[in-house]
């Protein structure tokens, strides 16, 4: 695994990343909410890229992992800026975006900005618009008032926060309500036992995307993470189909 490097943003943010050059489009992995590049899927994809001599870029959003900043200041717009800055500084040629959960929402925003450089997209339990369909009206009201809400975290001891700043920005980034002008090949993987993101969201996303080259793979016994050995093998096979 390549060592962690850092890219300094103009305002002083230090974005941690791992990057290797190689053949084919550069795979750029976008982690989920409060996740980072040390996760199982990101690590497996980077190791696969090393084994196959493919180009790959992992990163931690500001406020996450080894990057600087406070998570409470994070937003889709802020993290999109970081991804695009690193792609512009480090990546030559086409880009293959892979986004997990919230990273699947961010993937759409990055894809729209990449234009002709976009080779394809792979979504893993993608969660576009989750602040709209994933929260109760009471939670949305609290967030609209500027309050932070907390939810039980099945993956850790501390509750998961959603900050009003993230929510306000997310309200301007909704994508499922209209056609999404992206025409590249798209592959969506989703577990049907996902307790966090209903698998029907992948079907809604497939319908909203303008591309005709879309495949949705439903894993009947798969959970939200899709991190089992068989799930990882399915993911790496989808990645390999772009090379």
pLDDT tens per residue across span 164-200: 999 999 999 999 999 999 999 999 999 999 999 999 9
Measured CA to CA, the distance from residue 51 to residue 204 in angstroms comes to 35
Please check whether residue 190 is in contact with residue 206, taking contact to mean a CB–CB distance below 8 angstroms: no
Question: Which residue in 190, 202, 224, 231 is the catalytic one?
Answer: 224
Structure tokens at 120: 């394809």
Active-site annotation holds for 224: yes
> How many DSSP H helices and E strands does the chain contain?
8, 10
Please, what is the average pLDDT of the chain?
97
Structure confidence at residue 156 (pLDDT):
76
Give residue-wise pLDDT tens across range 18-44.
999 999 999 999 999 999 999 999 999
Question: Which residue in 129, 169, 194, 231 is the catalytic one?
Answer: 194
In the chain, the percentage of residues whose pLDDT exceeds 90 is 96
Question: Which residue in 101, 169, 202, 231 is the catalytic one?
Answer: 101
Structure confidence at residue 124 (pLDDT):
98
Structure confidence at residue 226 (pLDDT):
97
Report residue 15: phi and psi, to 5°. Answer: -100, 120
Give residue-wise pLDDT tens across range 86-141.
999 999 999 999 999 999 999 999 999 999 999 999 999 999 999 999 999 999 99
Active-site annotation holds for 101: yes
CATH for 5-240? 3.40.50.1820
Structure confidence at residue 147 (pLDDT):
98
DSSP-assigned letters across all residues of 149-203: EEE--TTSSSPEEE-HHHHHHHTT---TTS-B---S-EEEEEETT-SSS-THHHH
Measured CA to CA, the distance from residue 227 to residue 102 in angstroms comes to 16
Q: Is the pLDDT of residue 205 over 80?
A: yes
Active-site annotation holds for 194: yes
């Amino acid at each position: 695994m390549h060592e962690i490097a850092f890219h300094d943003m103009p305002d002083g943010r230090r974005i941690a990343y791992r990057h290797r050059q190689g053949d084919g489009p550069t795979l750029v992995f976008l982690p989920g909410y409060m996740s980072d590049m040390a996760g199982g899927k990101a690590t497996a994809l980077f190791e696969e890229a090393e084994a196959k001599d493919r180009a790959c870029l992992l990163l931690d959003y500001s406020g996450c992992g080894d990057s600087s900043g406070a998570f409470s200041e994070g937003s889709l717009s802020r993290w999109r800026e970081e991804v695009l800055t690193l792609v512009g500084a480090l990546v030559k040629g086409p880009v293959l975006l892979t986004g997990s959960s919230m990273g699947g929402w961010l993937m759409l925003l990055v894809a729209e900005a990449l234009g002709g450089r976009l080779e394809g997209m792979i979504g893993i339990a993608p969660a576009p618009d989750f602040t709209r369909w994933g929260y109760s009206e009471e939670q949305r009201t609290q967030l609209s008032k500027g309050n932070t809400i907390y939810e039980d975290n099945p993956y850790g001891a501390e509750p998961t926060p959603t900050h009003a700043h993230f929510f306000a920005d997310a309200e301007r980034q909704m994508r499922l309500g209209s056609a999404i002008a992206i025409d590249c090949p798209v592959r969506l993987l989703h577990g049907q036992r996902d307790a966090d993101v209903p698998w029907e969201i992948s079907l809604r996303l497939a319908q909203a995307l303008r591309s005709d080259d879309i495949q949705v793979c439903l894993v009947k016994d798969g959970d939200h993470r899709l991190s089992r050995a068989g799930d990882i093998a399915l993911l790496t096979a989808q990645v390999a189909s772009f090379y």
